[in-house]
Amino acid sequence: MVKITYHGHACIELNDGKYDIIFDPFITGNPVTKTNPDNLKPNAILISHGHADHLGDAINISKKTGALIIAPFELADFCQKHGAPNIHPMHIGGSYNFEFGKVKLTLALHGSAFVTPDGTHYTGNPCGYIIHFGGKCFYFAGDTGLFGDMKTIGSLNAIDVAFLPIGDNFTMGPDDAAKAAEMLQAKTVIPIHYNTWPLIEQDPEKFKEKLKAAGINCIIIPFNNSIEI
């Protein structure tokens, strides 16, 4: 059994009863989350890219709890230079067996930088993640546009759950995400990265209907809610 908690935007927490891992912990400043970042005690934090709505509270949580930060090399280095005590740099195509499960970094078509008033700090390439956790295989696409290699990712991995952005504007919208779902052949698709702000407003129910018509199972987790699979 894996408990999946959706903190809104792209922040997904997985818990198998022994380990707790969290993707893209954008909590502070996230208008749709009710989560108190002080209550998060993950073993590992997986970050897809350096944009503020993904890096989020990662460094502070890592400082407070000692949680391991897993990220593309340049972003992991950025986190370390900003005080993260515990990092594991990786890069696209590479995998590693952590005690909680096997992690592989996948391609994502997007940017990666941390932007502050004094400039733009590039943090390498963005990524997605294939992770084997609690006996299940998860694909966290990160922020990405549709790309044909999703078909390869699907053929190399029996994906139980795929987390796909549907917000459009910065990432895939619902039509491309539906095409992605088809290529990935995931057993279940969970939409993310929508309705945080008006710019990425979408109706997840319409996305679910679209997937249903294609014979693909879709679960919508309301913000601040959990499911078990």
> Which residues here bind Ni ion, judged by CB under 5 A?
51, 143
- Residue closer to Mn ion by CB (options 10, 216) is 10
Nearer to Mn ion, 74 or 160 (CB): 74
CA distance 161 to 184: 10
Q: Would you say 95 or 169 has its CB closer to Mn ion?
A: 169
For residue 107, the Cα-to-chain-centroid distance in whole angstroms is 13
Query: Residues 67, 61: contact at Cβ < 8 Å?
Result: yes
Residues in 48-77 at the binding interface with Mn ion, rule: CB under 5 A: 53
Q: Quick check: 24 binds Mn ion (CB under 5 A)?
A: no
Rounded distance between C-alpha atoms, residue 139 and residue 186, angstroms? 9
> Cβ of residue 144: shortest distance to Mn ion, in angstroms?
10
Minimum Å gap between C-beta 214 and Mn ion is 25
What are the structure tokens assigned to 220, written together? 């919508």
DSSP per-residue string spanning 37-56: GGG---SEEE---SSHHHHT
20 binds, among Ni ion, Mn ion, none (CB under 5 to 8 A by kind): none
Spatial CB neighbours of 156, under 8 Å, sequence gap ≥ 6: none
Among residues 53 and 160, whose Cβ is nearest to Mn ion?
53
CB of 125 vs Ni ion, minimal distance in Å: 12
Where does this chain bind Mn ion (CB under 5 A)?
A: 53, 143
